[in-house]
Amino acid sequence: MAPLAFTDLCEILVRDGGLRPTLQVTIEKQVAKTLNLLAYNVTNRELSFIFRRSGEFASRHFHVVLRVILGLYEKFIKQPDGSHVPSEIASNQRFYPCFKDCIDAIDGTHIRIKVSQHESPKYRGRKDYPTQNVLAACTFDLKFTYVLAGWEGTTSDSRIMKEALNSQDSLKIPEGKFYLVDAGLILRSGLITPYREEQYHLKEYSRNSPRNFHELFNLRHASLCNAIERAFGVLKKRFPRISSSTESSYGIETQKLIIFVCCLLHNYLRGANPNDELIAQADAELMNNNNVHEEAPNSRESNEKFRMGELIRDGIAAAMWTNNQD
């Protein structure tokens, strides 16, 4: 983080978050300790040596700053209201006007978590180690607009999405708008997936041009939807703590809150201190991701929403194919 970005962050935490210095520790040292723990994956013991304070002091300041940053969640993470077309779509004829009603991209990612041996099985899903499954939405310039963390690694993305749509702090889908989502989620009117059993990864299109309107749709869907995978990639590189194999000394709830804080800080830094090198590194790794299969709807209501999603997707794909032939 650049010095100016760090200074501005401290001012925001004081002005808007109410962070205060103590008799022994300044605002800057409290924030620096927290950022060191997140960005350099140091232990409390190492941090106490760096700042010449006990591990207890380091842990206390970390939790204080963590809570203050969380209090600014709505300042830095805002859901779109659908009132405007994202500039990445409006300014690109490959996406506009076909994707003019698209607002964001959504996907899930698995992040390491330390749990007791008793709880470990329900957190050990697709990975060889316990993880929490995190669902998030982001803009096409890689800023998070919604985050739902803390779910066990064995929980499916579709179940987490259902919770996201029905919880108290729910994911909002403005009328007539939709999110682009990965094939691991269920197609519906507000969540548009790629076509099944058609290539849609960007690395495949680098070798083969689209042969029909399904493949063309999937290409452009992937070109936009990979924003969320890129955002996750940058997040994990910027804050190694959340993906490190180092044993965490924090409880499950704190490990969950750390995810929210890192997403919030990521948004702040995207504006105050963008890092193109991190994005380039995340892009280089993105091509290694594997395809997943779309889940089928399992109720009458889901079937109706699925059909609505099919109509929206088919209409976009047909118009896109027609325009591409002109």
pLDDT the model gives residue 41: 64
Question: pLDDT grade, residue 157 (50/70/90)?
Answer: confident
pLDDT tops 70 at residue 301: no
Query: Which of these three, 36, 71, 106, is where a domain ends?
Result: 71
What distance in Å separates the CA atoms of residue 49 and residue 160, rounded to the nearest whole number?
41
Residues 147 and 264 placed together within one structural domain of the fold: yes
Residues 299 and 161 placed together within one structural domain of the fold: yes
Query: Which of these three, 12, 37, 71, is where a domain ends?
Result: 71
Residues 147 and 89 placed together within one structural domain of the fold: yes
pLDDT tops 90 at residue 149: yes
The mean pLDDT value for 13-28 works out to: 92
Residues 174 and 55 placed together within one structural domain of the fold: no
Domain that holds residue 153: 79-325
Residues 106 and 156 placed together within one structural domain of the fold: yes
The mean pLDDT value for 150-159 works out to: 90
Query: Which of these three, 71, 88, 122, is where a domain ends?
Result: 71
Single-letter code of the amino acid located at 141: D
Q: Which residues of 120-158 are buried (b: 16+ CB within 10 A; e: fewer)?
A: eeebbbeeeebbbbbbbbbbbebbbbbbbbbbbbebebb
pLDDT the model gives residue 85: 96
Model confidence over 231-268: pLDDT tens digits?
999 999 899 878 765 556 788 898 899 999 999 999 99
131-138 and 178-181 beta bridge pairing: unpaired
Q: Which of the two residues, 310 and 103, has the higher pLDDT score?
A: 103
Q: How many domains does the chain have?
A: 2
pLDDT tops 90 at residue 95: yes
Sign of the Cα pseudo-torsion (73, 76, 80, 81, in order): positive
pLDDT the model gives residue 169: 85
94-108, 205-219, 230-244, 302-316: which range is least confident on average? 205-219
Tell the residue number behind the tokens 């010095």, with chain if given: 3
Residues contacting 163, CB < 8 A, separation 6+: 148, 151
Of 66, 56, 142, 72, which is closest to residue 107 (Cα–Cα)?
142
Tell me what the pLDDT averaged over the chain comes to. 85
What distance in Å separates the CA atoms of residue 273 and residue 285, rounded to the nearest whole number?
22
Model confidence over 38-94: pLDDT tens digits?
887 666 566 555 555 555 556 788 889 999 999 999 999 999 999 999 999 999 999
In what helix (H) or strand (E) does residue 112 lie, and over which residues does it extend?
Answer: strand 102-112
What distance in Å separates the CA atoms of residue 179 and residue 189, rounded to the nearest whole number?
9
Residues 67 and 85 placed together within one structural domain of the fold: no
Residues 198 and 57 placed together within one structural domain of the fold: no
Residues contacting 100, CB < 8 A, separation 6+: 85, 89, 90
Q: What SS3 state is found at 246? A: coil
Instruction: Give residue 311's region: left, alpha or beta (phi > 0; psi -120 to 50).
Output: alpha
Residues 28 and 95 placed together within one structural domain of the fold: no
What distance in Å separates the CA atoms of residue 155 and residue 166, rounded to the nearest whole number?
16
Residues 58 and 152 placed together within one structural domain of the fold: no
The mean pLDDT value for 105-124 works out to: 90
Residues 112 and 61 placed together within one structural domain of the fold: no
Residues contacting 319, CB < 8 A, separation 6+: 98
Residues contacting 210, CB < 8 A, separation 6+: 216, 218, 219
Residues 218 and 99 placed together within one structural domain of the fold: yes
The pTM of this model reads 0.87
